[in-house]
Amino acid sequence: LDPVLAIVGRPNVGKSTLVNRILGRREAVVEDTPGVTRDRVSYSATWNGRNFTLVDTGGWEHDAKGIHARVADQAEIAADLADAVLFVVDSNVGATATDEAVVRMLRRKKKPVILVANKVDDMVQEADAYSLWSLGFGQPYPVSALHGRGTADMLDAVMDVL
């Protein structure tokens, strides 16, 4: 059975765009409006000759529990079924209260976490990613899911823990 990598993070940070980048094809649904990915969707992926299963998350409605809890719940379900977690944060926005809710949940799990600072489209924006060291998951990997910048280094780091 292939190892499972779950992609978690709040809506609109670029999880589905990153899935498509990793797959090398546009299979995951990307939307400008948050909440388009339906629940959890699995894909077969390969990096450096190693196969793994990629699980995209999202698709929750803003119900009475509120957005923090819904994002953290989805992330927790995905983290529980995964061997490693890609935690995606929007580098242009920085860590939000919702991100902090995900951080608290992920800390309780005994799973390796790779922290991704997405939307680092150019070198100038790389500085923004460094503030995410404060989340406590070690080095933030600056990537642009949209343009492919930094995703090879990120995937190498994933393979070290998967």
Binding residues for GTP: 9-16, 56-60, 118-121
Q: Please state, as a whole number, how many other Cβ atoms lie within 10 Å of the Cβ of residue 124.
A: 8
Distance (Å, whole) CA 129 – CA 2:
31
Separation CA 11–CA 98 (nearest Å): 10
Q: Least distance in Å: CB of 69 to Mg ion?
A: 18
3, interface contact from ligand GDP, Mg ion, none, CB < 5-8 Å by kind: none
* CB closest to ligand GDP, residue no: 14
User: Both tokens of residue 129?
Assistant: 């990613």
Of residues 18 and 84, the one with the C-beta less far from ligand GDP: 18
Q: Give binding residues as ranges.
A: 9-16, 56-60, 118-121
Residues in the site for ligand GDP, rule: CB under 6 A?
A: 9, 11-17, 30-32, 34, 37, 58, 118-119, 121, 144-146
Q: Does 57 help bind Mg ion (rule: CB under 5 A)? A: no
Q: Which of 6, 16, 91, 149 binds Mg ion (CB under 5 A)?
A: 16
Residue 37 makes contact with Mg ion by CB under 5 A: yes
Of the pair 88, 120, the CB lying nearest Mg ion is at 88
Angle of CA points 152, 19, 57, to nearest 5°: 135
Instruction: State both tokens at 114.
Output: 């790779």
The angle at the Cα of 102, spanning 29 to 136, to the nearest 5 degrees, equals 120
Residues 87/96, Cβ–Cβ less than 8 Å: no
Q: Which helix (H) or strand (E) holds 75?
A: helix 67-81
Answer yes or no: are the C-beta atoms of 161 and 50 closer than 8 Å: no
Q: What is the DSSP letter of 4?
A: E
Q: Does the protein bind Mg ion through residue 58 (CB under 5 A)?
A: yes
If one asks whether residue 74 binds Mg ion (CB under 5 A), the answer comes out as no
Nearer to ligand GDP, 32 or 63 (CB): 32
Query: Which CB, 34 or 126, lies closer to Mg ion?
Result: 34
Q: Which residues of the chain form contacts with Mg ion (CB under 5 A)?
A: 15-16, 37, 58
